[in-house]
Structure 1
Amino acid sequence: MNDQNQQEVTIRDNPDKGRFDVLVEDTQAGFSMYKDFGEMQRIFYHTVVFDEFEGRGLAGTLTRTALSTSVQAGYRIVAVCPYVKKWLTTHHDFDDATDPVGREHLRALR
């Protein structure tokens, strides 16, 4: 896939680091951190796109791919990350795969 500047974008799961990475032309452009929890829940807790890559739609592309990949693997989404939480308010195709944030999720991130 390409970004708004028509540069090649790759998004890949990096389970050893607990994150999805977004790369532009093979250069790290950002990531979305997650922690697997309990019975097939995936807590997304921090999303970053580096300053030099902002304004290209990468955060939305990263979020959609990370959530889609997770749901396809059988995970339910728990959105602690403010960006992911807000993104979900306008992308209702994930409503049936999202669980509310509970104290147990926040404790798991400590």
Structure 2
Amino acid sequence: MTEAPTTIEHEDNGSKGRYFLRAPGGAIAETTYTNVGQHQIIIDHTEVPDAFRGQGAGLRLVTRAVEDARAAGKKIIPLCPFANAQFKKHPEWADVLKR
């Protein structure tokens, strides 16, 4: 197992965006989202390739999305099954969960 990359990168093109990690071998773990207006995002997909398994990469990516949403005053709709499961495990994220 390789060491987990530490820097989460972020891309936002206006309507869609992603948080991602790059492994030294080129594999990419990512959480993608769609902007819904100025105050909401939909997390629609999280993918963690085998190069990242067991390193908490998916949780780190969703956590970063939560932190950024909180800082921007946005709410999150977690349509992605992984993100939805993490929201259920982290009640401290309730302030950014769109109900």
Q: How far did residue 29 of structure 1 move? A: 2.7
- Render the CA deviation track for 1:37-73: whole Å, top value 9, x for unaligned: 0341000010001122111111111111121112212
Letter paired with 1:66 = A
Aligned to 1:12: 9
User: Paired residue for 1:32?
Assistant: 31
Extract structure 1 runs of 4+ deviating beyond 6 A.
none
From the superposition, tell whether residues 5 and 28 of structure 1 become closer, same or farther in structure 2 (CA, over 3 Å).
Answer: closer
Distance 1:14 1:82 in 2: 22
SS at match of 1:18: strand
Corresponding pairs, count:
97
- Unpaired runs of 5+ residues, structure 2, are none
Alpha-carbon separation, structure 2, partners of 1:82 and 1:70: 19
Aligned to 1:107: none
Alignment of 1:1-110 (within 5 A): 6-16=3-13, 18-25=17-24, 27-100=26-99
RMSD: 2.1
C-alpha distance in 2 between matches for 1:40 and 1:77? 9
Gaps of 5+ in 1: 101-110
* In 2: Cα distance, 1:36 partner to 1:74 partner: 13
Q: TM-score, normalised by structure 1?
A: 0.76
Percent of pairs identical after alignment? Answer: 26
Asked if the contact 1:41/1:77 (under 8 Å) is kept, the reply is: yes
